[in-house]
Amino acid sequence: MKDNKKNKVEQDSVKEANADENVTVSDDFAGEGEDTQAEAEVNTLENQVAQLQTDLEAKSKDYLFLAAEFDNYRKRTLKEKAEIIKNGGENVLKGLLPIVDDFERGLKAAEGDTDSKSVTEGMTLVYHKLIKYMESMGVKEMESTGKDFDSELMEAIARVPSPSEEMKGKVIDTVQKGYMINDKVLRHAKVAVAQ
């Protein structure tokens, strides 16, 4: 009996050992399949990372290109604005040069002429030429005498007693003319207002 028990214990031990080997062998086969699948996933993820890095580099290059292009545009625009500001008055002054020439000719002619009428006519011609040029540039004279006082267009430098009730608040005298340029005040008219 003891031998039977001993044989049975040995047989159980052998069965357990065989079962352990079977489990180990089946675990090894299962591990190889998982390793292959894991390697495939790793390769897929590495490919995706490589693709994303390539896309990121391309987008970074595009961004840097656009940033540089915008910076160049900004610098060019600032340079053009500076040129416009620097030379903006050039055309206006160039248009005034013929009028200066006319004044010089008129003054030279007035030196030897004793007739004030011809000097007055010459100066009147030059004055009208100047006014015409200013109008071509969009400059217009403001009408102020006899009009209601408007603080947007006029500057009151004096208040005088009103000669009549209906003249109160109106401009009695224009001390210095005002001018508009393209519907904007170039210079306010200096006026005396009736109280």
Task: Specify the pLDDT at position 112.
Answer: 73
pTM score over 0.75: no
Residue 29 DSSP SS3: helix
Instruction: Judge whether residue 143 has pLDDT over 80.
Output: yes
Q: What's the rounded Cα separation, in Å, for the pair 127 and 105?
A: 14
Quick one: pLDDT band at residue 24, thresholds 50, 70, 90? very low
Highest mean pLDDT among 45-54, 104-113, 169-178: 45-54
Rounded to the nearest 10°, the torsion over CA 51, 57, 60, 64 is -150
Q: Is residue 14 very low, low, confident or very high in pLDDT (cuts 50, 70, 90)?
A: low
4, pLDDT greater than 50: yes
First CA to last CA distance, the chain: 145
Q: What would the mean pLDDT of 89-116 be, rounded to a whole number?
A: 79
The span from the CA of 139 to the CA of 179, in Å, is 7
pLDDT above 60 (res 87): yes
Q: Is 72 exposed, middle or buried (0-12, 13-18, 19+ CB in 10 A)?
A: exposed
Name the strands in the sheet holding 154-160, side by side, starting at the edge strand that comes first in the sequence.
154-160, 189-194, 171-176
**Average of pLDDT values for 16-43?**
64
| 76 compared with 14, residue with greater pLDDT | 76
In this predicted structure, the answer to whether residue 50 has a pLDDT above a threshold of 90 is yes
DSSP codes of every residue in 77-110:
HHHHHHHHHHHTTHHHHHHHHHHHHHHHHHHHHH
Cβ-based neighbour number of residue 131 at 10 Å: 13
Q: Which residues pair with 170 in a beta bridge?
A: 148
- At residue 124 the predicted structure's pLDDT band, cuts being 50, 70 and 90, is confident
In terms of DSSP bridges, do strands 154-160 and 189-194 run parallel, antiparallel, or are they unpaired? parallel
Q: In the 8-state DSSP scheme, what is residue 42?
A: H
| Mean per-residue pLDDT over the chain, rounded | 82
Identity of the highest mean pLDDT range in 57-66, 98-107, 114-123, 144-153 = 57-66
